[in-house]
Amino acid sequence: MNSYSNATVAQVITRIARELESWLSSHSPSISDTAAVARSEAETLVLSATGWSRLELVSRLSSLVAIDHEARIASFVSRRLNGEPLQYVVGEAPFYGRLFVVRPGCLIPRPETEVLVEMACAWTNRHHPRAHIFDLGTGSGCISLTIALECSAALVTSVDISEAALEIARENQARAGGSVRFVQADGLRLLRDMAERASRAPAAGAQVDGARVDGAQAALARVGDGSHGERGDGLPFEMPPINVLVSNPPYVPTQEVEELAEEVRNHEPKLALDGGEDGLSFYRDIANIGPGFFSPGSAASFFEIGAGQEDAVLALFRENPAWTEWKFVACDDLNGIPRVIQGTR
């Protein structure tokens, strides 16, 4: 373990930065300015280990590192040099101007996913402010919670099969706020069930329980009767029709998962990364389910995709007769890379 005895805070940060620069050079060759990244990470590790604000850090640069901080700083640095993602080491990651709790069990939020959220929020606030938004694949909760905070009149439901991820998401809800209903379930199975129920629904305007209702809405509202079994798939509430579907699904081809950066493949959940043989399993499943789980009227879907997947994903929807009423387009992220598939009706 490193010893930082009789060293000032500035000296410790410099020493850590040198160690990190050497590590990054050999483990993350794609980083163009390893010195700058290493310095930033060194400061972040010290801030997190000490609990100081950045202003406090600046004011203490010439002070000796306190004994009670030495071991914690050394532990954080050791974890990072062993390949653990910085966000897991410090326990949080920024997303859309907020900090979210992250740890093994959830995918680390990425800046490019902010485009997905921005597009979903813009469409909702403009076209359907009181929409029911369904987030498939909760993870840290950064997508659903941000949408709930940015679309205050909307109803947001977020589903994940992983209880570990949902636990983290609920922590983030307690920290950031945002009215989101978190549910442990197989989200694709749930949507498939909703679509099947809608296909068996009475025709629009039919009498159901003595009332004149829209058939699809009557069927979808009944999802939540516990028919998904005892393993966390049953919903504790009635599911209203969906107006907006949003998801950052697993989209890395199976054979490429082991080619990802060491800190990603060894630490982040493979369930959130592996998109099947060609990386398109999720999009193919959604396309095959069809839009039957959506409420009648205006609706939208927003899916994050991997680099170079736009043509294949667009084809899955544009060539499926079930989606003929929908318009699908690919939208770029800030780097000019097609990152989001938007579908609207």
Beta bridge partners of 304: 340
Cα–Cα distance list, 260 to 30, 163, 253, 306 (Å): 12, 25, 11, 13
Q: How do the domains of the chain map onto residue ranges? A: 9-82, 104-344
Read off the pTM. 0.89
CB burial of 82-103 (b: ≥16 within 10 Å; e: otherwise) equals eebbbbbbbebbebbebbbbbb
More confident residue, 64 or 227: 64
**Euclidean distance between CA atoms 86 and 42, whole angstroms:** 10
The pair of three-digit structure tokens given for residue 3, joined into one six-digit string: 């010893």
What digits encode the pLDDT tens for the residues 200-250? 876 555 544 444 445 444 444 444 433 333 333 456 567 888 999 999 999
Annotation: CATH topology of 104-344:
Rossmann fold (3.40.50)
What was the pLDDT predicted at 213?
A: 43
Grade residue 5 by pLDDT with cuts at 50, 70 and 90. confident
pLDDT of 280 higher than 90? yes
pLDDT of 69 higher than 60? yes
Grade residue 29 by pLDDT with cuts at 50, 70 and 90. confident
What would the mean pLDDT of 158-163 be, rounded to a whole number?
A: 96
